[in-house]
Structure 1
Amino acid sequence: MSQLELRSRIPPRPTWGHGFSACVTAARMGMNLGKDRIDLFSWISTNVAAPLPTGKAIVEEVKIKSRDDLVLEFMTQEQASVGVTAEWIQDARLSNPPEKPADRVVLYIHGGAYFLASRKTHRNLTWRASKHSKARVLSVDYRLAPKHVYPLALHDVLSAYSYLINGSEAHSIGKDKKFLKYHRYHPSQIVIAGDSAGGGLAFSLLMYIRDHLDEFPMPAGIIGLAPWLDLTHSMPSFLDNGIYDYLPGRTNDKKYINSDRSFPYVANNSFLPYKYVSPLYAKESDGPPICPVLIQVGSAERLRDEGIYFAMQRFKNSDCRLEMYQDMIHIFQMFMPSKYISGVALRRFGQFVQDVTGHEAFVVDERAVLVLNTPPYRVVPLPKALMFVEQGLRRRGQTVADIEEKLNEVSYPTFECC
């Protein structure tokens, strides 16, 4: 057996079948092959389009005008004027025809470690998000690393959000025009969502909105599917769950990574603890209340603790709901058929979207729940969710107080872009 195969073998979790274990092992082997070849891995992943069931989804690609009047710190005027490619996607069975305004919209931000994937790779997920949310989805292609570093991706999703709330300029890509292009949606009709790095970018967008409410209104809600909230990897599950998850450790592609730059998404490591890069560093007390939050994590995934810590500690006084899925790996919602536990997650995703965009005030009933990975997939209270993080910290001789001290340190990036 090769060294790669040995590194890729994953001990099964109690509820995994042989087929699921084999799929996770295969996914890990693929990720290990590509993690240190950023250019090749990025090219392959961005040129893949996920298939959609025939006749069940309506899709149209659009080009959105960038907010060229909004030049974020660490970017140039030229970088603020390039336009944003996106697509409208809607379940074909929704009652709202695409040429009419939608009742609600999900602004979806795809994952991929900030240098992989696209709106096309995530179509099966965004279509099902539309189906279960009874919403129209705007799925965004933001600028990817390593060619484009922070804050260009944040600027792209700010432009997409502005497009929704202002009805700003957009045009179809191609001749087949299906969707209404110009409509001002009220923020109460919009939910921001994303997975993995896209989930982290969604929360970066949320923090920017919170800090600039004079320019951007708060949306109705936000959903993070295993959001990557901490690029400094402060949380113990990143190491502890490495034996189960298919996600690899950090990339070591020497073309882009060195002692001063640990991730291709940033120009240098001074950006890593910045709240618009690692939203776990944002303080609840630093601004007005945020919108309702739904975070879904798998109990066996590397990014589990970041979601727990955000909901149960950093923003413990906000309307956050944490859902942990037993023995699940990173973004299981994207890879598993809906007849399994992923269907429960997507239905709860959809219900959250409908609840926060409804006419009644949203109320978080149980702050944290565990969804069991055996039929009928019961949902049980998880009142002490933070203990998963605390146990991992204790194994390292750390406490929550130590992590809070680190996260509360005032840090600001140092970089001259122009």
Structure 2
Amino acid sequence: MPVSRRLPRTAAFWSVAVLLVLMLAASGVPSPLYRVYQEEFGFGSGVLTTIFGIYAFALLLSLLVVGGLSDHVGRRPVLIAAFLLEAVAMALFLAADGVGWLLAARVVQGLATGALTSTLGASLLDLQHPDRPHGAFINSASPGLGLSIGAAGAGLLVQSIASPAEWAFGVLAVVFVFAALGALLLPESSPRLPGAAASLRPRVHVPPAHRRAFVVAVPLLVACWSLGGLYASLGPSLVADVFGIDNHLVGGLLILALNGTGVLGSLALRTAAPERAMVLGALVVAAGVTGTLGALLATSAPLLFASAVVTGFGFGAAFLGAVATITLGVDSGHRAGLLAAVFVVGYLAFSLPAIAAGISANGVGLTRTTEVYGVTVVVLALLAVVAMLRARRTAGSIAAVPAPVDETADRLAPAQLPG
């Protein structure tokens, strides 16, 4: 009798969960290293945020083009190819001796991360136990958790050892090669379906019944994701240049403060009605960013970190509630296109405002840029609250269909924080 070389279902599920967090942690590693590269290669904030932003563009492109490919060719082939592509990205970081190499590394990493995010996420839903459907929560919590681990870990390396980039990317390159080999042990959880070539055509579509919810949620999506982009790109520079803390670990911890508490926000309000989670989350984001503005005026690092914690909590709740509201009642044939529309808004907000902030920081300074950025985020969050309350007053609900009374965390499954 032949012995199976595939992992059993439960072991495969948790292996995929670990791989997902690991891959997303790798996406956070460059953030504390941007300042190191800045000093080594001599570029300004505008170039820094361009290096950051091009990753988000590549990731979005990958999500839209190959996001559904594993439904047709199987999960394992996509995982193996994408993990090897991650290893190539790490090798490019290792070889980097200028801005061009960094841009190439981030493009390749973005392409690999987009393919892995969709395929690993689908694998979790495939492999989860019917009586213990943890895949939804892991999918929604892992981006914030992974990014936080990567940023904090890289900050610790920068602060502790002489060649942090070589250690970080060298180890990750080896790990991703082993991850590709490990994917061979995973059971194939998706049948191969025809239409692989057609699946590469991006689908972005908001069905008419869901357009009101989508339009109302756009200001909140932009507020949350643009704030995440600012922290991930210029957060360590803010800590060093504005608050005078020349410690790379502290810069990484600021990213952890925002993204780590985003996981807590999504967990705390996972059973709340989606529209309520949106309103509460938006108000908490506005309050947290107002605290950040106060921290800038007082040059208070403790207030900066406390405000990031508050903002992150609201971020997690607001984004999960927004996605749940937008997608409530959508049929399976339109789900992928609707989620693609959400992520197009999200990743454009994650990258474009951050790039603009980097250019602005070169002209008017990082403090003034962050103040204007923060005020804009507060205004967007409050506009979203007003729009939601007005829509509910006139129509009773902004969702396409009323939310049932008995809601579960699985309703929030499609939502993910930026990674």
Q: Does TM, scored on the shorter chain, surpass 0.5?
A: no
TM-score (norm 1): 0.30
TM-score (norm 2): 0.30
Greater share of strand = 1
Question: Which structure ranks higher in relative contact order (CA pairs < 8 Å, sequence separation ≥ 6)?
Answer: 2
Greater share of helix = 2
